[in-house]
Amino acid sequence: MSSLKSVKSDRKERLHTEVALDVFKARNPALVIAVKNFLKVLPTPKAIEEVLKEATYELAEVDPDACRWLVQNSLLLMPELDLKAEACALAVQKLKASGFEEGPDFHQESRRQLQLSEAAKSQLQVGNSVLESLMLEELLQVG
Q: What is the pLDDT of residues 10-48, one digit of tens each?
A: 677 789 999 999 999 999 999 999 999 999 999 999 999
CB 47 within 8 A of CB 17: no
Kindly report, residue by residue over 6-20, the tens digit of the pLDDT.
Answer: 444 567 778 999 999
- Banded pLDDT at 127 (limits 50, 70, 90): confident
Distance CA 17, CA 74 (A): 17
Q: Which residues of 39-64 are buried (b: 16+ CB within 10 A; e: fewer)?
A: beebeeeeebbbbbbbbbbbbbeebe
DSSP element (H, E) containing 86: helix 83-97
What's the pLDDT at 36? 97
pTM of the predicted model over 0.75:
yes
Task: Indicate the range of 26-40, 76-90, 91-105, 123-137 predicted with least confidence.
Answer: 123-137
What are residue 110's phi and psi, to 5 degrees?
-160, 180
What value does the CA radius of gyration of the chain take, rounded to a whole number of Å? 17
Report the candidate in 47, 53, 52 with the shortest Cα–Cα distance to residue 89.
53
